[in-house]
Amino acid sequence: GAVVSQHPSRVICKSGTSVKIECRSLDFQATTMFWYRQFPKQSLMLMATSNEGSKATYEQGVEKDKFLINHASLTLSTLTVTSAHPEDSSFYICSARGMGYSNQPQHFGDGTRLSIL
Amino acid sequence: AQTVTQSQPEMSVQEAETVTLSCTYDTSESDYYLFWYKQPPSRQMILVIRQEAYKQQNATENRFSVNFQKAAKSFSLKISDSQLGDAAMYFCAYRSGNQGGSEKLVFGKGTKLTVNP
């Protein structure tokens, strides 16, 4: 149980393109999903917290107009990197927490490697 | 703000031997959760073990166990009978347990574990 699917796993596109990444909880409902970014050989850094039916909460320094997050249902959150540039190239990972709070761990997707040419 | 420190960038262990990965953290909160995640070359984040701060008993999951020293703010991971499949990056992570507080995971920089046959 507790499977999180992330799609696509890899994207290569030209500078200026907008890229959408999907994060789905397959066998549980997730009121809260999280989007992380990981640079090579570095740790995961939280970008934003996505709550179903409300606006995402962005971490300091993350451009909300650049990284659009939509959490339209209890099983789907999307991250759109708008007008992507080479510096946006990174590994993006989502996670989802099941309903309830304190004792629910985050389950991670397989990540998306984004390469902007 | 909470911080997580993993002082060992790399560790190696012989197959079937035991290895301990170190993690310290800094927080002023009394209620929180600690986690160890494993990230193999596939980049998927896999939850290895978790510990609730209010529990004095150290968590164990098969060959994985922790040494949780709350006063010292230390949370080390012991891997017994190491297997080749244990080779991965290991991340220590902290999450607040306060109701209404941030659910974000704060990660350490990771320890790369190599298992030698």
Instruction: Supply the DSSP symbol for B59.
Output: P
Q: In this model, does residue B115 exceed pLDDT 80?
A: yes
The single-letter code of the amino acid at B92 is: C
Closest chain A CA to residue B90: A43
**A70 in contact with B, Cβ within 8 Å:** no
Mutate to test the interface with A, among B50, B90, B104, B109 (most CBs of A within 10 A): B104
Nearest to A34 among B35, B42, B104 (CB): B104
Query: Which residues have C-beta within 8 Å of that of residue A30, sequence separation ≥ 6?
Result: A52, A74, A75, A77, A96, A97, A98, A99
- Cross-chain residue pair A93–B97, CB shorter than 8 Å: no
Round to whole Å and give the CA distance between A56 and A67: 10
Model pLDDT, residue B100 = 66
**B107 in contact with A, Cβ within 8 Å:** yes
Query: Which residues have C-beta within 8 Å of that of residue B73, sequence separation ≥ 6?
Result: B24, B25, B26, B27
Say if CB B15 and CB B83 are below 8 A apart: yes
Round to whole Å and give the CA distance between A92 and A113: 6
Bridge pairing between strands B46-52 and B111-116: unpaired
Tokens, residue B56: 């004095």
Model pLDDT, residue B42 = 85
- The string over A82-100, giving b where at least 16 C-beta atoms fall within 10 Å of a residue's C-beta and e elsewhere, is eebeeebbbbbbbbbbbee
Tokens, residue B5: 């420190």
Say if CB B19 and CB A85 are below 8 A apart: no
Chain A residues close to B35, C-beta within 8 Å: 105
Torsion of CA B4, B7, B9, B13, to 10 degrees: -110
Tokens, residue A109: 């997707």
Model pLDDT, residue A86 = 95
**B46 in contact with A, Cβ within 8 Å:** yes
From the CB of residue B16, how many other CB atoms can be counted at a distance below 10 Å?
A: 11
Q: Give per-residue pLDDT as tens, B36-83.
A: 999 998 888 999 999 999 998 999 999 999 999 999 999 999 999 999
Say if CB B47 and CB B39 are below 8 A apart: no
Model pLDDT, residue B75 = 97
Q: Which residues pair with B79 in a beta bridge?
A: B19, B64
Model pLDDT, residue A101 = 57
Round to whole Å and give the CA distance between B28 and B2: 8
Model pLDDT, residue A51 = 85
- Cross-chain residue pair A93–B43, CB shorter than 8 Å: yes
Each of the 117 residues of chain A gets a pLDDT tens digit; together they read 678 999 999 999 999 999 999 999 998 888 889 999 998 888 899 999 988 888 899 999 999 999 999 988 889 999 999 999 999 999 999 999 877 655 678 889 999 999 999
